[in-house]
Amino acid sequence: MAAKQQPAPSDAVKQIHFLAAALKAPRIVEAAGRLADQARDAGWTHEDYLAAVLEREVSARNASGAAQRIRWAGFPARKTLDDFDWDHQPAVRQQVAALASGAFLVEARNVVLLGPPGTGKTHLATALGVTAAHHGHRVLFATAVDWVARLQDAHRLGKLPAELARLRRYGLIIIDEVGYLPFEQDAANLVFQLVSSRYEHASLVLTSNLPFSAWGGVFGDQAVAAAMIDRIVHHADVLTLKGASYRLRNRGIDTLPSIRAGIDQPDN
């Protein structure tokens, strides 16, 4: 039987280099070479081999996509669930573990993290954002004050509806530090519009050092605050963090009477 003319291996490898570059998938070259030996040794089918090479490329792309989404999210610092010391917040461990599956993002549910300063609200909000990026969602993080500034800019330019529509394409928006500063009425209305535009479409994570009962004071208007809280918590997990500031741990400061008063709370 006349053997069909095959390209010499080196030609095939050169061709793989060329084709991988044309596909903008340079990692295929490395995977193809490395897996070819493994495939020959293990007697893989051609289909097994092709699937393995493509799988390497897809997982590398997903990982670099996540890294890019994390870079673009605007987190104040890189924090993950793995860095979190659950001994300080044992009561929310199960709830956060369930959220880490990312199901809340698919269901457009919200997460509200409440608690005193230094209890890990921003850390957990960031870590949930990082998880969301790994699950393929685009994420944007900013403080409530920064969100207001951004929405005011869009409003001034007559582009608020376009901006809200653009933001809806993000699977997760994090609004950190609701309540550190009170808002003027027009600012409160802009936050309300952001919350409304995402209601049942896409998720929000909010953090606040104030209980919901004090949000009326933040938004300057009980009716606006009530309508906003209603939309936020309709589909939401509310996590209450407790205890002393993690920033002050091991500093002896938590033994001061004024701070101890705030931390003598049960964990559950």
The single residue among 56, 69, 121, 242 that binds ligand ADP, judged by CB under 6 A, is: 121
Query: What angle, 0 to 180 degrees and rounded to 10, lies between the N-to-C axes of helices 27-42 and 46-72?
Result: 150
Residue with tokens 């509806």: 161
**With CB under 6 A as the contact rule, which of the stretches 2-10, 76-84, 210-218, 220-228 interacts with ligand ADP?**
76-84
- If phi over 0 gives left and psi between -120 and 50 gives alpha, with beta otherwise, what is residue 11? alpha
Identify which of residues 83 and 230 has a Cβ nearer to ligand ADP in the complex: 83
88 binds ligand ADP, rule: CB under 6 A: yes
Contact 111, 237 (CB under 8 A): yes
Closest approach, Cβ 132 to ligand ADP, in A, equals: 17
Tell me the C-alpha distance between 244 and 88, whole Å: 9
Site string for ligand ADP, 22-61 (x = CB under 6 A): ----------------------------------------
Q: Is 89 in the site for Mg ion (CB under 5 A)?
A: no
Regarding 122 and contact with Mg ion (CB under 5 A), the answer is yes
Counting every residue, how long is the chain? 268
Q: How far is CA 210 from CA 10, 130, 182, 217, 234, in A?
A: 67, 25, 11, 10, 19
Tell the smallest beta-carbon distance from residue 87 to ligand ADP (Å).
Answer: 8
User: Where does this chain bind ligand ADP (CB under 6 A)?
Assistant: 79, 83-85, 88-89, 115, 117-123, 246-247
